[in-house]
Amino acid sequence: MNKNNQQGPLADGGKLKLAIQKSGRLHDDSIRLLKECGIDISNGVNKLKAEANNFPIEVYFLRDDDIPQYVEDAVADIGFVGENVVYEKKKKVAVVEKLGFGKCRLSIAVRRNEEYDNEQFLSGKKIATSYPVILGDFLKAKGVSAEIHEISGSVEIAPGIGLADAICDLVSSGSTLFMNGLKETETILQSQAVLIKHANLVPAKQLLLDRLLFRIQSVKKAKNNKYILLNAPNDKLNEIIGLLPGMKSPTVLPLAEAGWSSVHSVLNENDFWDIIEQLKAAGAQGILVVPIEKMII
Per CB under 6 A, contacts with ligand ATP among 95-124 are: 102, 104
Which amino acid makes up residue 112? R
Starting at the earlier edge strand, list the strands of the sheet with 147-150.
147-150, 126-129, 166-171, 104-111, 182-191
With H, G, I as helix, E, B as strand and everything else as coil, classify residue 49: strand
* Spatial distance between the Cα atoms of 279 and 242, rounded to a whole number of angstroms: 10
CB 144: neighbour CB atoms within 10 A?
17
Question: By CB under 5 A, is residue 69 in contact with Zn ion?
Answer: no
Pairing of strands 193-198, 78-82: antiparallel
Residue 92 contact among ligand ATP, Zn ion, none, beta carbon within 5 to 8 Å by kind = none
Question: By CB under 6 A, is residue 254 in contact with ligand ATP?
Answer: no
Kindly tell me which residue out of 64, 119, 156, 186 binds ligand ATP, with binding defined by CB under 6 A: 64
Question: By CB under 6 A, is residue 32 in contact with ligand ATP?
Answer: no
Question: By CB under 6 A, is residue 37 in contact with ligand ATP?
Answer: no
Give the largest Cα separation in the chain, rounded: 78
Kindly tell me which residue out of 30, 107, 180, 191 binds ligand ATP, with binding defined by CB under 6 A: 191
Question: By CB under 6 A, is residue 84 in contact with ligand ATP?
Answer: yes
Least gap, CB of 154 to Zn ion (angstroms)? 13
Per CB under 6 A, contacts with ligand ATP among 12-31 are: 21, 24-26
* Spatial distance between the Cα atoms of 129 and 186, rounded to a whole number of angstroms: 14
- Site residues, ligand ATP (CB under 6 A): 21, 24-26, 63-65, 82, 84-85, 102, 104, 170, 172, 191
